Structure 1
Amino acid sequence: MNTTKKLTEAALLSSLFIVITIIAVGTGFGYAIYLDFIVPIFFCIICLKCDLKYTVLSGITSLLIISLVLGNLGTAIWASQSVLLGIICGYLINKSPTIMDDLVYGSMLGVVIMVFIDIYASALIGYSFMKEFQGYSKLIYFNGYADSIYYLMIALFPFGMVFCIYFLSLIMAHKLHILTSNSLKKLLVFKNFRFLNQFLCCSKKVFYMCVFYLTIFEIINILNIKTELVYLKTIFISIGYLCMYFVIRDSCMSLQNFIITKFRKVAYARISFLIVVISLFLMFKITVIGLIIINAFLNKKMNIRLAQINIVNKQINILIEK
């Protein structure tokens, strides 16, 4: 009975999506905020309400019907990017790991999806966000770091999209009263982000996964291994930048929390952060390696990462009880 209900709900929501999309695209409004934000949030809500398998089925059938009715394959391909991002966010919200784990996985998958979709979208509709970012990077002259800025933009774009879709979907799902207890906790974390930010971190598994990726990334650079496949290179480097961000962020947060716990002085933590920032500018790679080693030591001796996660869970449980 429950399966039939979810299938019916997915079918009804798919029908609603098809009608709205045809109207939006037909009137010219579908190429603005609608395809970029409303569509992924819509499918994220479907995933939260109707489970993953019915959402995937809904997405496939909806995109097929839209492409046949409009006769515009480019629109369907562009919409497929939003549908996939929405499904990914919905799946991650329903899972038990921390918000930071969700953002890591979502951002990485987002890079892969958006780069490959860009290949087909640029050929059919003539727009490519990669080419646009390449133009921006050339305008920003910063000691010859145009390529680095280009890859950084590509890394940040999916990260920003996933973050917005994830957060807005949680708010919308809360309004519709379809959040589970686990996803409700994630919403409360966002609402109390200002106070919990310093304790938010990736799980140990995800942190060391990022460290492993960066190790492979650095070995390939040292060996000067290159590929002629531009899109594969773009994905590889952009994910490397994402891993770099999450590793540096988590390591800095853990170090500051340790200093505050050890010395009971917030000023010491701020001074240490300033030293890390200056060191990153002066000797980036050595500083990153040092942060990873310090973080590994803190995890081994104090299990500081688990302690931070427990602090967040404790505070959220207190808010739920209120």
Structure 2
Amino acid sequence: MDTTKKLTEAALLSSLFIVITIIAVCTGFGYAIYLDFIVPIFFCIICLKCDLKYTVLSGITSLLMISLVLGNLGTAIWASQSVLLGIICGCLINKSSTVMDDLVYGSMLGVIIMVFIDIYASALIGYSFMSEFQGYSKLIYFYGYADFIYYLMIALFPFGMVFCIYFLSLVIGHKLHILSSNSLKKFLVFKNFRLLNQFLCCSKKVFYMCVFYLTIFEITNILDIKTELVYLKTLFISIGYLCTYFVIRDSCMSLQNFIITKFRKVAYARISFLIVVISLFLILKITVIGLIIINAFLNKKMNVRLTQINIVNKQINILIEK
């Protein structure tokens, strides 16, 4: 009975999506915010309500119907990217993982999806968002920063998309009363973000995964190993930038929490953060290595990362019991 209900709900939501998409595209509204934000949130909600297999089936049938009715391959390709991002966010929200782990996985998968979609889009319809980003990066006066800006934009764009889809889907899911226990906890994390922000961190597994990736990234640079495949190079470098951000962010938070716990002085934590920021601008690689070593020591001796996760879980459980 439950299976039939979910299948029926997925079918009805698919029909609604097809009708709205056709209207939005025909009126021109679909090429504004609809395909970029509304479509992924729509499929994330379907995933939260109807489970993964029905969401995937809904996505395939919806995209097929849209491409056949409109006869517009570009719209189908663009929509497929949004559908995949929505499904990924829905799966991550339902998992019993931390919010930061979800953002790491979602951002990396987002980069992979958007690059592969760009391959097909540029070959079939002649449009490439990577080429557009490259044009923006060349506007930078100092050429030495053009490549950095280019890869940074490719890394930040899916990260921003995933974050918005993830957050807005949680808010809408809570309004619709369809959040599971895991997703409800993540909604409460965002709702109490000011209180919990300093304790949000990745799990040890994800943190050291990012560290391992950065190690490989740096070894290839030292050995001057390069590839002529543009898309592979873009993937490798963009994910490296994402890993760098999450490693720096997590390490700084853990260091500040340790200083506050050890010395009971918020001022010391702020001073240390200022020193880290200045060091990142002056000696980026050395500072990142230092932060990783300090964080590894704190994890080994004090298990600071697990302590932060436990603080967040304890606070969320208190809120749920209320």
Count of aligned pairs: 322
Provide the C-alpha distance between the structure 2 equivalents of 1:53 and 1:303, rounded to a whole number of angstroms: 38
Q: Distance in 1 between matches of 2:132 and 2:232?
A: 18
Following the alignment from structure 1 to structure 2, what is the Cα–Cα distance between the partners of residues 158 and 31? Answer: 18
**2:51 is the alignment partner of 1:51:** yes
| CA-to-aligned-CA distance 1:278-298 (integer Å, 9 cap, x gap) | 111111111111100100000
> Cα offset for 1:127?
3.1
CA-to-partner distance for each residue in 1:108-143, whole Å, 9 max, x for gaps?
000000111112223444432211211111112347
Matches within 5 A, 1:208-227: 208-227=208-227
Q: Matches of 1:238 and 1:143 in 2, distance apart? A: 19
Deviations 1:135-161 (A, max 9, x none): 111112347121011101100000000
Match of 2:144, SS state, is coil
Question: 1 CA distance for matches of 2:26 and 2:205?
Answer: 46
In 1, Cα distance between equivalents of 2:95 and 2:150: 32
Q: Distance in 1 between matches of 2:136 and 2:72?
A: 29
User: How many angstroms does 1:73 deviate by?
Assistant: 1.1
Secondary structure at the counterpart of residue 6 of structure 1: helix
Higher mean Cα deviation, 23-32 or 238-247?
A: 23-32
Distance 1:142 1:309, change over 3 A: farther
How far is 1:30 from its partner? 0.8
Aligned residue for 1:140, secondary structure, equals coil
Q: 1:2: how far off?
A: 1.2
Structure 2 residue aligned with 1:121: 121
Q: Distance in 2 between matches of 1:28 and 1:148?
A: 34
Distance in 1, matches of 2:177 and 2:116, equals 35
Task: Single out whichever of 106-115 and 191-200 deviates more from structure 2.
Answer: 191-200
CA distance in 2, matches of 1:21, 1:143: 41
**Aligned counterpart, 2:285:** 285
CA 1:280/1:179 → structure 2, altered by over 3 Å: closer, same or farther? same
State the 1:69 CA deviation: 0.8
Shift of residue 10, structure 1, vs aligned partner: 0.8
Using structure 2 for the length normalisation, give the TM-score: 0.98
Q: Would the alpha carbon gap of residues 297 and 113 (structure 1) be closer, same or farther in structure 2, given more than 3 Å must change?
A: same
Cα-Cα RMSD: 1.0
1:241 Cα deviation from its structure 2 partner: 0.2
What secondary structure is seen at the aligned counterpart in 2 of 1:144?
helix
Instruction: Please give the secondary structure, in 1, of the residue aligned with 2:32.
Output: helix
Query: Displacement, 1:97?
Result: 0.6
Deviates more, 1:281-290 or 1:236-245: 281-290
What CA distance in whole angstroms lies between the structure 2 residues aligned with 1:310 and 1:76? 43
How much does 1:318 deviate? 1.6
- Displacement, 1:240? 0.3
- Greater shift in the superposed pair: 2-11 or 212-221: 2-11
Q: How far did 1:207 drift? A: 0.2
Can you list the C-alpha shifts for 1:45-104, whole angstroms capped at 9, x where unaligned? 000011111111110111011111111111100000000000000000000110000000
C-alpha separation in 1, matches of 2:140 and 2:318: 47
Of residues 132-141 and 54-63 in structure 1, the stretch that sits farther from structure 2 once superposed is 132-141
- Give the fraction of aligned pairs with identical amino acids, expressed as a percent: 93
Instruction: Determine the C-alpha separation between the residues in 1 that align with 2:247 and 2:71.
Output: 45
Q: CA deviation at 1:106?
A: 0.2
Distance (Å, rounded) in 2 between the aligned partners of 1:122 and 1:28: 21
1:17 to 2:11 alignment: no
Residues 246-255 or 278-287, more deviating: 278-287
Q: Deviations over 1:200-256 (max 9, x none)?
A: 000000000000000010111111111111011101100000000000000000000
Once superposed, which parts of structure 1, at least 4 consecutive aligned residues long, lie more than 6 Å away? none
What 5-or-longer segments of structure 1 have no aligned partner? none
SS of aligned partner of 1:139:
coil
Q: 2:72: which partner in 1?
A: 72
Structure 2 Cα separation of the partners of residues 263 and 291 of structure 1: 19
Aligned equivalents of 1:321, 1:98: Cα separation in 2 = 20
Query: Structure 1-normalised TM-score?
Result: 0.98
> Structure 1 residues 56, 138: closer, same or farther in 2, change over 3 A?
same
- Which segment is superposed worse, 200-209 or 310-319? 310-319
